[in-house]
Amino acid sequence: MKRWQKLGCLGVLLMVAACCTAPVLVVAAARARGGAPAGSSVSAAAAGIPERMFAAYLTGAAQVTSYVPGCRGMRWQVLAGIARVESDHAAGHLVGASGDISPIITGPRLDGSDAGGNTTAIRDTDGGRWDNDSAFDRAVGPFQFLPETFRAYGKDVNKDGQISPHNADDAAASAAVYLCGDGRNLGDREQLRAAIHTYNLSWAYVDDVMSGIDRYDALGTTPALPSGNVGAVVQAALAQQGIPYSWGGGGPEGPSTGICCSPGGQDGGTVVGFDCSGLTQYAYAKAGIMLPRTAAEQAGAGRRIPASAGFGALRPGDLIFYGYSPTSDSTIHHVGIYLGDGKMINAPRPGKQVRIDPVTAMPDYAGGARLL
């Protein structure tokens, strides 16, 4: 998402800072104990986040009250939700032990030419210091701050005398400060949504970030396993956690290579794993039910549960669908298996693995189907 699409998204102000050894020590201590970093019951691997970035989120959340004493409810999941959308946790870049990121992350030149969706020119405010552009601004760092915003909110977390949007620790703590405002309660969902909206004045952006936060919040809490055929289906799907997504991959016999190519360009023929409907085929085969191959076709199996009935109509083991039109099965593009307690098991998309997600992880709920 481009928070620069409108002046006022992160205003023309955003932040980033430099790194310290503290986060590294947190992770090292956790390794010594054989557990997750302090402040989290979830490991970086379980969250699907690079370890050094995960440490930065933990540190930023833990330190924010030293800058905004009245802030409540800040947690690593909030920072991870923002950074997931802004930079996919600095994907494709090296994050050193100090937290410094290379090569640096910069967005498109904000010259009003519609690059990256920007139609309002933002003249240079940092002399090219952070974005290497002395004519126009570019968003910078893993949290994609505008230079002027970062200058206003950036924090020197490691006290080395430098504040950099290209340092994971400074950036995370600065984002936490920005989101806290004058002292928000980010444990309140509406206040959290309002805070994210100040980061980018787009409610679609807010929904995207919130879906990530919900997923991170849901980690480590798996509903109790049902019995009978429902339990067999759910257990079979849960056992595939960590298997890669493969476009066109998987089926009743288990994971397999897929086909070329996904809309994002993944060649499933090079990946052994499941796509969403391949996973559901495999799980239901354990109960002796052979499902059609695609998610749209699977919507015609069993007793259909309309989207209008809400998530509360679902039971563990039900198929759960997402589509561009909730009343048209032909538009369904994703399927998972409902676990109960607002969670599902699914193969989400290329580059990810089979995992547990909240049912709100995708915005276009299209109902479910009950076969058991």
Active-site annotation, residues: 276, 334, 346
- Chain-centroid distance of CA 268 in Å reads 22
Tokens linked to 161: 């005398």
Contact 304, 213 (CB under 8 A): no
> Tokens 């004519």 appear where?
135
> Tokens 């600095």 appear where?
90
Longest CA–CA span in the chain (Å) reads 66
Closest CA to 81 of 222, 195, 164: 195
How far is 92 from 80, CA to CA, in rounded Å? 17
Contact 61, 76 (CB under 8 A): yes
- Three-state secondary-structure class, residue 99: coil
Tokens linked to 124: 């240079």
Q: What does residue 196 show for φ and ψ, rounded to 5 degrees?
A: -65, -35
Closest CA to 171 of 49, 27, 44, 52: 52
Contact 201, 44 (CB under 8 A): no
How far is 299 from 95, CA to CA, in rounded Å? 43
How far is 27 from 21, CA to CA, in rounded Å? 10
Contacts of 133 (CB under 8 A, 6+ apart): 106, 109, 124
